[in-house]
């Protein structure tokens, strides 16, 4: 009964999704989902490499003051996440 999903069912599901979210929002949602997946993948890869580094030298104690900073790279051409933040100014005069 529910074992096989064919082409008509997939088309029906896509039509319902387009009707619910609208055609204009779908590309933005897909882009956001792709960015999230890339970040998750890079974080998982970083965690695996950290675990591999830790298991290679378990007897070496961590040194204080030498912290390694990790940065998450944005996708090429992604300027929305690199906008500078402007601080609010106090406009009240006393």
Residue 67 lies in a domain: no
Residue 81 lies in a domain: no
What confidence score (pLDDT) does residue 85 get?
Answer: 53
Domain range for 31 is: 23-53
Reported residue count of the chain is: 94
Residue 73 lies in a domain: no
What confidence score (pLDDT) does residue 29 get?
Answer: 86
What confidence score (pLDDT) does residue 70 get?
Answer: 62
Q: Which residues contact 35 (CB under 8 A, 6 or more apart)?
A: 75, 78
Q: How many domains does the chain have?
A: 1
Helices (H), ranges, 1-94:
7-21, 25-56
Residue 2 lies in a domain: no
What confidence score (pLDDT) does residue 40 get?
Answer: 95
Residue 40 lies in a domain: yes
Residue 18 has a CB neighbour count (10 Å cut-off) of 12
What confidence score (pLDDT) does residue 31 get?
Answer: 92
Residue 49 lies in a domain: yes
% pLDDT > 90, the chain:
24
Average pLDDT of the segment spanning 4-15: 90
Residue 13 lies in a domain: no
Residue 42 has a CB neighbour count (10 Å cut-off) of 14
Helix 7-21 / helix 25-56 crossing angle, nearest 10 deg = 100
CA torsion, ordered 58, 64, 65, 66, to nearest 10 deg: -10
């Amino acid at each position: 009964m529910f074992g096989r999903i064919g082409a008509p069912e997939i088309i029906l599901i896509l039509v319902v999704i387009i009707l619910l979210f609208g055609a204009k929002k779908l590309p933005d949602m897909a882009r956001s989902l792709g960015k999230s997946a890339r970040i998750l993948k890079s974080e998982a890869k970083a965690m695996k490499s950290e675990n591999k580094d830790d298991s290679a030298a378990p007897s070496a104690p961590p040194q204080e003051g030498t912290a390694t900073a990790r940065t998450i790279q944005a996708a090429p051409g992604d300027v929305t996440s690199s906008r500078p933040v402007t601080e609010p100014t106090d406009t009240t005069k006393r």
